[in-house]
Structure 1
Amino acid sequence: MTLPPLTAFGPDFTFAHDDWLAHPAGLGAVPKDVLGTEVAVIGAGASGVIAAYELMKIGLKPVIYEASRFGGRLRSESFDGTGFEGSPPVIAEMGGMRFPASSAGFYHYLDLMGLTTKPFPNPLTSAAGSTVIDLEGETVFARDLKELPALYQEIATAYAQALDGGAAFTELQNAIRAKDAARVKSLWNPLVAAWDERTFYDFVTSSDAFQSLSFRHREVFGQVGFGTGGWDSDFPNSMLEILRVNLLGFDDDQRYVVGGVESVLRRLWHAAPPCTYWPEGTSLGSLHRGATRSRVMKISRSNRNGPLLVTDQWGNEAAYEAVLVTCQSHLLTTAIEVDEELFAQPLWMALDRTRYMQAAKTFVMVDRPFWNDVDPKTGRPVMSMTLTDRITRGTYFFDNGPDQPGVICLSYAWMTDALKLLPLSDEKRVDLALKALGKIYPEVDIASHIRGVPKCISWEADENFLGAFKGALPGHYRYNHRVYSHFMQDDMPVEQRGIFLAGDSVSWTPAWVEGAVQTGLNAVWGIVAHLGGACHAANPGPGDLYAEQGPVALSG
């Protein structure tokens, strides 16, 4: 029997956002006297722009505020001197760069905007061509897992067995494929209680599959991991976070967006879909007269029954019946003055306890994809996608054609490895990466191929982010439950209603854009309900099914 394709269905909230999006009845409607009502959207990233696009279609007027750069962590930067006279730009993806095919909600918008994708050159995939693993000065070359030494096969087998033995992985993933909500919940909910307070590392070391293996196996597993590369930076995280990534296929069948992923949001900004209330040709761009509002400095309320007041950096204050906040949660206590009464104290605790992981990337443009040159001594490519315990950690190659400039992500590092680079200049980061790669490929002169200036980022150094993405620690499930369920507001005091949360800080699957999409769509439902609207009976929305399909609540 052929199984349905894997999508990000649950496992915490078993609602098919992709089916809701695809239904011809649309996402909902508001009363006629509410049409045209302005709704503030704070943040022009994936969650904010997609929510604004859907609110516009329903007949509301989203007003987007952006503190810095349109796109959020979908940030595609063109190398200088490219993209002129009809030639495509050469892109460095500074934020999200690989998008699993199971992200059905996000791919809905990619397809809608006419964008194309290609397989991402992850280690040991055909898109990478070949992979080099360099650990403790020992280098291994392979084109797929079967070519690696037995130790790597043992690790892969042990992890698969650990997942099946400790999490009923195959059965649970099959239920997710089938979108069998009852079965998913019956298998997943007990895991939440069992694994919330245990780390990823604990799951690995306590599993029967790894008990008979050596520390070396666990060490290599941390450095090389599975799918996209090393996972030791995630060892302290809650195992629930890792299970979700595995179950939803986020580490498999990943693709990148041709022309840069930021283009999906820019196209949504200019798109003119059929809209209730708004005239033909209306777009987010036209509603904003071409530009978003500026940085938000304050969110307040003049009285408990009154509208929400949003003040920008220039002192402009506007009143809104609803406000959607999609920025990182830390900004609500560090960068934006927010009336304390707008959130319950347990929610403030959850927002403040949100933990972000650090991430650093270093990109260079090169004259051509020279890594495809064949070494006459070995018959192999002169360079390969590289995983290493050196400071570069992960090195990826992007081929734009044999006679076109290529791109190398010289280094993609997380947590402590990212912090090592934090105070360094772009040139110093490139220099360190070249020295590290020079020890793996001593006969390759990478520097001779570099053109232009490098593109580097440390997300934790950006005042508008203060980190790359959320990484839940053991015991954080209750916090995540509080922020995720915030769009369900019927039982809240009136002074706390009307302000909604979405984005990576709210998602169950941080670091993956699908979570930002789904939480943005949840907020769309919440805003429509808050304004007296509802979904069509034939296409119930997330809030309509939340009571029976929402996340399990842990006691205490």
Structure 2
Amino acid sequence: MSTALRGADAPVTLFGPDFPFAFDDWVAHPAGLGELPAERLGQEVAIVGAGMAGMVAAYELMKLGLKPVLYEASQMGGRLRSRAFEGGHGVVAELGGMRFPASSTAFFHYVNRLGLERQPFPNPLTPAAGCTVIDLEGHTHWGRTLADLPPLFAEVASAWAEALEEGAGFAGLQQALRERDAAKLKALWNQLVPLWDDRTFYDFVATSQAFSRLPFQHREVFGQVGFGTGGWDSDFPNSMLEILRVVLTGCDENQHLIVGGVQQVPLGLWHHAPPAGDMRHWPAGTTLASLHHGAPRPGVTAIARAASNELAVTDTWGNVRTYPAVLTTCQSWLLTTQIAVEESLFSHKHWMALDRTRYMQSSKTFVMVDRPFWNDLRDNGWPQMGMTLTDRLTRGTYLFDNGPEQPGVICLSYAWMGDALKMLPHNTEKRVQLALQALRKIYPDVDIASHIIGDPISVSWEADPHFLGAFKGALPGHYRYNHRMYSHFMQEGFAPAERGIFIAGDDVSFTPAWVEGAVQTSLNAVWGIVKHLGGRTHAANPGPGDVFAELGPMALPD
């Protein structure tokens, strides 16, 4: 992001607010991310998990001259999982991350490096959606913009904006973020941390002057359909700090999809040969795939301290290899349920933080259809269907148009928490039937089933033993835990037994559920590993650990 774009009109980016460090600038700097001692070049380091966090770390450590050894127990890509429909000629269902805010500038650094195409995501009331249908309490409303809907919806939107200003001084906070004024942003944000860490999102809404002077129906509508990406009620129990981060950094707006599927990003990094000028030690043309002979190692079953003081990693087949550094990017619960991690590798304070992570459930059900029939116009000029928000079982229905007379995709249902658990006991066919029954009540004259081709696809992330949930949702009082996890890469003050193992991923970040958090924490870990191995950053391009004492997250007293 150029300096010229850092004034009052600069775009919103995921610059903090807890740690306002310019990861996008750091990773793109021509000086590179650092330098390792000559004796470390070619040395192996282990990375557990080949999702976005693991792949970014592996890619950057390879460029620095290390030999990353990736372990993967499930599928490469992690929760960036694009599943192709049988016979669909590249038509995919995005089972994990599917919409990526433009503010995710470090993530898009890699998207752009790989030359992948993006386009606007069809969120409610956006041009990409074309038409939005809101169905609440049996009443259906059609609109292309907020102005098309009854005044109630505009009142809710206005109340939300007013509540943000009243409770968080939102305009000034976001302006400091736009300008990347780290000192001002930290001063404003640090006032909000103790104020809102132990209070819920619902508390923020319900006690605001903006909503408290309105009937209950307004906050009910806000919970059911919300604004930006849709309904907010699944997040009502979460800490308000988490929601403030989402709206402050533009995560709920200006979102894009990756054409052809987002799994292309981590898989692309696996196969991408960095320019020769970006590589140290390895010959031109080297890729992560070539260093691994084409495939990652199997899943990890144990991590312990070896007699050599290195870290011993045991894989599914009982093979044990030792490394001077290990990065775990799997979800933190797996460090106690799937991997036998020696207790002394983390402090009891860190174990508490890792174990107290709370994951949110998520369910999606997709079908492929013969063509984007929803674009057919009715007699009144409206299309057959629109992106749909409802209080019915489906909650959110999204329509993906791949061109006239080309197979399209409908995400029949995207639900979280309790709504996702309603789907959990059912197989995919039953989920499709339940979704079609709900949508039939909204569109009684549209025969969706007649357009379905191929086999449907669904996912419940909480049912996958390699994930146990979709993403973290911090509860009130969890800031201290998040602080411990996020700052874990700063290891100089650790006991010797706790050094050398690092953690990264969106659940380590302050912005769970967003891939930018996975990217940023993996870059923190890269800095930590380089430091641990005796390396350093370049003076012209200081890294996150170099400025952590000055810009790092504020600590609340224990």
TM-score, structure 2 normalization: 0.98
1:432 aligns with 2:434: yes
Q: Within 5 Å, which residues of 2 pair with 1:138-149?
A: 138-149=139-150
1:80 aligns with 2:82: no
Q: CA deviation at 1:456?
A: 0.3
CA distance in 2: counterparts of 1:154 and 1:467, whole angstroms:
34
1:290 maps to amino acid? G
Q: CA deviation at 1:340?
A: 0.3
> In the TM superposition, what whole-angstrom CA distance separates every residue of 1:257-286 from its partner, at most 9, and x where no partner exists?
001000011111111113100011100000
2:258 maps to amino acid? V
Q: CA deviation at 1:6?
A: 1.2
Equivalent residue, structure 2, for 1:520? 522
CA distance in 2: counterparts of 1:531 and 1:52, whole angstroms:
15
1:56 maps to amino acid? M
Q: Within 5 Å, which residues of 2 pair with 1:2-81?
A: 3-81=9-87
Equivalent residue, structure 2, for 1:278? 282
Equivalent residue, structure 1, for 2:551? 549
Q: CA deviation at 1:226?
A: 1.1
CA distance in 2: counterparts of 1:271 and 1:348, whole angstroms:
36
Equivalent residue, structure 1, for 2:291? 287
Equivalent residue, structure 2, for 1:86? none
1:355 aligns with 2:358: yes
SS in 2 for 1:421: coil
Q: CA deviation at 1:82?
A: 2.5
Given that 2:8 and 2:178 are in contact with CA atoms closer than 8 Å, whether structure 1 keeps it comes out as: no
SS in 1 for 2:541: coil
Given that 2:8 and 2:175 are in contact with CA atoms closer than 8 Å, whether structure 1 keeps it comes out as: no
CA distance in 1: counterparts of 2:255 and 2:273, whole angstroms:
29
CA distance in 2: counterparts of 1:21 and 1:342, whole angstroms:
29
SS in 1 for 2:198: coil
Equivalent residue, structure 1, for 2:448? 446
Task: Point out 4+ residue stretches in structure 1 off by more than 3 angstroms.
Answer: none
Q: CA deviation at 1:302?
A: 2.6
Given that 2:200 and 2:476 are in contact with CA atoms closer than 8 Å, whether structure 1 keeps it comes out as: yes
CA distance in 1: counterparts of 2:247 and 2:507, whole angstroms:
20
CA distance in 1: counterparts of 2:469 and 2:506, whole angstroms:
11
Q: CA deviation at 1:2?
A: 5.4
SS in 2 for 1:298: strand
1:297 aligns with 2:301: yes
CA distance in 2: counterparts of 1:399 and 1:340, whole angstroms:
50
Q: Within 5 Å, which residues of 2 pair with 1:332-371?
A: 332-371=335-374
CA distance in 2: counterparts of 1:534 and 1:207, whole angstroms:
48
CA distance in 2: counterparts of 1:520 and 1:226, whole angstroms:
30
Given that 2:506 and 2:516 are in contact with CA atoms closer than 8 Å, whether structure 1 keeps it comes out as: no
CA, structure 1 residues 295+416, in 2 after alignment: closer, same or farther (shift >3 Å)?
same
1:68 maps to amino acid? S
1:205 maps to amino acid? A
Q: Which runs of 5+ in 1 are unaligned?
A: 84-88
CA distance in 2: counterparts of 1:492 and 1:313, whole angstroms:
30
SS in 2 for 1:80: coil
CA distance in 2: counterparts of 1:177 and 1:455, whole angstroms:
40
Given that 2:273 and 2:286 are in contact with CA atoms closer than 8 Å, whether structure 1 keeps it comes out as: yes
CA distance in 1: counterparts of 2:299 and 2:175, whole angstroms:
44
Equivalent residue, structure 2, for 1:319? 322
Q: Within 5 Å, which residues of 2 pair with 1:144-183?
A: 144-183=145-184
What's the C-alpha RMSD, in Å, of the aligned pairs?
A: 0.8
1:308 aligns with 2:315: no
SS in 1 for 2:457: strand
Give the fraction of aligned pairs with identical amino acids, expressed as a percent. Answer: 67
Q: CA deviation at 1:5?
A: 1.4
1:483 aligns with 2:489: no
CA distance in 2: counterparts of 1:458 and 1:211, whole angstroms:
36
2:367 maps to amino acid? V
Q: Within 5 Å, which residues of 2 pair with 1:468-507?
A: 468-507=470-509
Q: Within 5 Å, which residues of 2 pair with 1:530-541?
A: 530-541=532-543
CA distance in 2: counterparts of 1:448 and 1:345, whole angstroms:
57
CA distance in 2: counterparts of 1:441 and 1:344, whole angstroms:
55
2:382 maps to amino acid? R
2:340 maps to amino acid? E
